[in-house]
Amino acid sequence: ALLPYVPHVLPAALPGKITATTFTLERPRCIFDRHANASDTVWLVVALANASATFHNPPCQAEVPPYEQLPIALSYMTLEMAAAAYACSARSPAVLRVGDDTACGGQGSRDPCNGPLPSPGPYRVKFLVMGCHGPKAETRWSDPILLRTAGSPSTIDPSPTRHGSDMVVIASILASLAAVLAVVALSTVGAKVWGSLCHRDSGTSIFAHRSYRTHHIPPALPQPLPPGCGCRCGCSPPPPG
């Protein structure tokens, strides 16, 4: 059965909705309820835009094209889930992230995998319901989905703008002025310290040639501790009797 539903990128604002290797689809609901049983699975077919027209649904799950076949066949199937995940009563997340499994292809496995998309595309996707005896229903192909690409280095202007040049000049002038003020402040402080040292030295030399009589104060003798105060943390109560 060909269903009228058309897969599409999530329309709501979402950080990272489309990146260089992933994109986010809106999860369809109530689309497969009349065409799928509890034992059926729903797959997402991902194909380059020019390969979607020649893609053939696999006759059974054993012949599902894997992620590693994308460079050759320009298409693969991923995101295998039970049909109940798309039911009206399902409490599953409202989005599907395509290409977010970075571990795909790392061990040479040919199992179905949701690996990063290797090129900007464009890509087209559709949902396919698979039963024990083969395909049962499918949606229409999506519109082309183009991933983000990095900007070309040739588009970067190496020379700063006029406004940026003015800011650099102003910053240089302020830095020079701050350096001059710092030197003046250090010179003033140094002069005061030097004068204070000279004055202190001259006073010492004057007092060195004079003699003074002082009163002799004998040192205080240690007083005996009261009974029971031998510990450092306080006095203990006197012994009874």
pTM over 0.75: no
pLDDT class for 13, splitting at 50, 70, 90?
confident
Does residue 52 surpass a pLDDT of 50? yes
Mean residue pLDDT of the chain comes to 75
Query: What pLDDT is stored for residue 175 in this prediction?
Result: 62
Does residue 28 surpass a pLDDT of 70? yes
Q: Hey, what are 169's tokens?
A: 């000049």
Query: What pLDDT is stored for residue 106 in this prediction?
Result: 63
DSSP 8-state secondary structure symbol assigned to residue 162: H
Domains within the chain, CATH numbers bracketed: 2-149 (2.60.40)
116-126: per-residue pLDDT in tens? Answer: 999 999 999 99
Beta strands in 30-187 (DSSP E): 41-48, 75-82, 95-98, 123-131, 134-138
**From the CB of residue 110, how many other CB atoms can be counted at a distance below 10 Å?**
11
65-109: per-residue pLDDT in tens? Answer: 999 889 899 999 999 999 999 998 888 788 999 999 998 866 556
Q: Is 153 helix (H, G, I), strand (E, B) or coil?
A: helix
Q: How far apart are CA 128 and CA 140, in angstroms?
A: 9
201-212: per-residue pLDDT in tens? Answer: 444 444 344 443
pLDDT class for 5, splitting at 50, 70, 90?
very high
pLDDT class for 15, splitting at 50, 70, 90?
confident
Q: Which of 86-100, 160-174, 178-192 has the lowest mean pLDDT?
A: 160-174
pLDDT class for 158, splitting at 50, 70, 90?
very low
Q: Percentage of residues in the chain with pLDDT exceeding 70? A: 59
Instruction: Report the largest interatomic distance among the alpha carbons of the chain, rounded to a whole angstrom.
Output: 121
Residue 135 buriedness (CB in 10 A; 0-12 / 13-18 / 19+): middle
Q: What is the dihedral of CA 125, 127, 132, 133, to 10 degrees?
A: -70
pLDDT class for 215, splitting at 50, 70, 90?
very low
